[in-house]
Amino acid sequence: MLGMGLLALIIRIYYAIHDTVTPMKVGLIALPLNAVLSVILVKFIGANGLALGTSISVLITTLIFVFDLNERLDLFEFERSGKTIIKITIASLTMAILIILVKNNLGPILNSSFGEEMALLILSVGVGITAYWTLLNKLKIIE
């Protein structure tokens, strides 16, 4: 939903700068991309593939628009921001992997009582926060 709202806003920016051709050209890319992704993903995950295919195509379309707008209006410093985004992505993926490992390795050992589930949740969150914070500091992300 956020992607679609952002896409609608970006298209309005193009209209405001009197450019109706670029949204049409990008739309000609987005429509078949959405169809192909949806058909492929429906085969693997059923009806949810439609939503996921649409979400991915909206994300790609939005990125195309953002990069094009940046080229025209010089809005973002992608070199500096890009490095930061990559570092944050690495930290986030590491955090997610550690949380999944804790949950999958300790979950089967525990009984399904409320107290043990809460302890697992607190431990997972603690491991995740600690890993994320440590990696942010090691990667020297100060923003």
Write down the domain spans for the chain: 2-73, 78-138
Q: Which two tokens stand for residue 73?
A: 């209006």
Which pLDDT score is estimated for 131?
92
Higher pLDDT, 85 or 134: 134
pLDDT tens, residue by residue, 64-101: 998 898 888 877 776 777 788 888 889 999 999 999 99
**Torsions phi, psi for 76 (to 5 deg):** -125, 155
C-alpha dihedral sign at 28, 29, 31, 35: positive
Q: 3-class DSSP state for residue 110? A: coil
How many Å apart are CA 91 and CA 56, to the nearest integer? 22
Stretch 48-72: mean pLDDT, rounded? Answer: 90
Please state, rounded to an integer, the average pLDDT across all residues of the chain: 87
Which pLDDT score is estimated for 39?
94
Which pLDDT score is estimated for 143?
61
Q: Which two tokens stand for residue 118?
A: 């809460």
pTM surpassing 0.75? no
How many Å apart are CA 66 and CA 75, to the nearest integer? 9
